[in-house]
Chains A and B, each alone.
Chain A
Amino acid sequence: MALLEVKDLKVHFPIRGGILNRKIDEIKAVDGVSFSIEQGKTYGLVGESGSGKTTTGRAIIGLNHVTSGNIRFSGVDLTNLKSNRRDIRKEIQMIFQDPYSSLNPKKSVFDIVAEPLRNFERLSKVEERKRVQELLEHVGLSPESIFKYPHQFSGGQRQRIGIARAIALKPKLIIADEPVSALDVSVQAQVLNFLKDIQKDLNLTYLFISHDLGIVKHMCDEIGIMYKGRYVEEGSRDDIFYNPQHIYTKRLIAAIPDIDPFKRQKLQEWRDEVEKEYKKHYDDYFDHEGLAYGLRSISNTHLVALPQKG
């Protein structure tokens, strides 16, 4: 059984206006998303800004209200569960996008990393400090840094503090919401490899949210592509990168930059071709509102939102 199963998840935000602040419309941030993640795998959620990938992640961890659909985590439904939620919370943790705002500037590193431990585990002062130092050592920070404050660290180090906090309770699932997009490129690789290392060490499952296809290719086993709150394509890494079926996916993949200057001409031609195809077939692949159609499976692992013809 999959560790996390999301079925037909919808998160709609009301738009209020007019007299009496009535609900006049809604934004369908996430509109019918289904996927499942196996234990120990990394699932990549890809899409442009505003495509609903972050909202999906936040809905799973409970930061956003779920309009309909259900989320099952190791068999427990998370959507209509209030009292038991605390135990489940322990199993799901999140790594935030911005390492500058996700750490409280007024708290020392010790307080930040110890926060989850204080909530769920009764430890003595000495044990607590020992655990925090172990966690910091685990993420590659010196144990002396526990008395420092977040602003004394670089972006990469701060993200490591965030990771130490997320793994403190030994969770099963970690939702990584663009964990490296606020970091500079030299530090990105370092943090990504480190994420992979601790995944092996602690048998973690990742839901990896990103807009950077290069990173997703490096990290993920399975990938879902989102556009305007819906899935356009889902499949294994190979399906998505070597056999993209949807014009949107093709366009995304064509946009990945290549470092080799000799291929520049060829790549440009390819991009132009994909762009032409995208423009030509746009009406076939998206409905009158510009939304993707329902998914259809074209192989065991590969689902595509193909046009509904015939």
Chain B
Amino acid sequence: MEKKHKILLKLFISTFYLSAFTFGGGYVIVTLMKKKFVDQYHWIEEEEMLDLVAIAQSAPGAIAVNGAIVVGYKLAGIAGTITAVIATILPPFLVISVISIFYEAFRDNRVVSLVLEGMQAGVAAVIASVVWEMAAGILLEKKWLSIFIMAGALIAASCLSINAVVIILVCIAVGLLKTFMPGRKGDPS
């Protein structure tokens, strides 16, 4: 593993950069973090990243901030948390500070709104690409319970608009039930 201050610096720069370009909800930055810290730097394993996302999602507060906290803590303890949180809130802080001065002109600018509209397609493509890889990983394991949970959670969140916290709580209950009911045909691990 690299030296700690080098990790902190790298963590700061990459989190700052990700936060500055994250338009739209917290899942966008979580997806970008996965690309950066799992696929590019190999600092975190894919399964671990999903666990960290679950923590970020189920705790109170913004997912982007919570995601930065868990990733920072995992990589460098409290120092990592502080580094990642500051790097995450600094870009919106600076941008809003500037915009609050002349926000009406910004809000009504045609080019700005077109660029932002177009970026949605790119954002959706980034999410689709990450989901594609992670879902393939789960489908290839061929554990029926996992596949069933994935499909069920997708329907619950997308079609029935059930709150994410509720979905996570139900999955925790299913997981506990599975542990305390041995002899059932669950997954062998």
Bind each other: no
B-side residues, CB < 8 A to A, are none
